């Protein structure tokens, strides 16, 4: 809960203090296909970004979180500490299953030609 609360405060502070034209919001599950937006925002060449390492730290846990802590508890803590920020950036996410769905759908989209 403490980590999530700190993360939520940080995201909220950035959203409040950084003018919209000076910030770029990249949704986590879309990082692998956001390189062009990032390069344009930073005004750098697209080929200067290392596109192979976009999700280098994704799922680094040895075991899934829900094998250690009940999903309902995690969902309650996330909602209590991060609900407003998540609603702003991920309006289609209402719960754990939605998170899994957007990652799965995103992977399916990346696999398409």
- The pair of structure tokens assigned to 62 is 């040895």
The tens digit of pLDDT for each residue in 45-61 reads 999 988 776 666 565 56
Task: Quote the mean pLDDT of the chain.
Answer: 83
Predicted confidence at residue 23, as pLDDT, reads: 92
Of the candidates 79, 88, 95, the residue with the CA atom closest to the CA atom of residue 25: 88
DSSP state of 86: H
Cα four-point dihedral sign 48, 50, 51, 54: negative
> Quick one: pLDDT at residue 58?
60
In percent, how much of the chain has pLDDT > 70?
85
Mean pLDDT of 81-98: 83
SS3 at position 94: coil
């Amino acid at each position: 809960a403490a980590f999530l609360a700190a993360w939520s405060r940080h995201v909220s502070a950035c959203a409040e203090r950084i003018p919209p034209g000076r910030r770029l919001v990249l949704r986590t599950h879309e990082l692998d296909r956001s390189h062009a937006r990032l390069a344009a925002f930073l005004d750098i060449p697209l080929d200067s970004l290392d596109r192979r390492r976009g999700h280098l730290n994704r799922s680094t846990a040895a075991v899934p979180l829900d094998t250690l802590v009940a999903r309902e508890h995690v969902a309650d803590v996330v909602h209590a500490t991060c609900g407003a920020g998540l609603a702003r950036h991920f309006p289609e996410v209402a719960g754990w299953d939605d998170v899994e769905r957007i990652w799965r759908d995103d992977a399916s989209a990346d696999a398409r030609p």
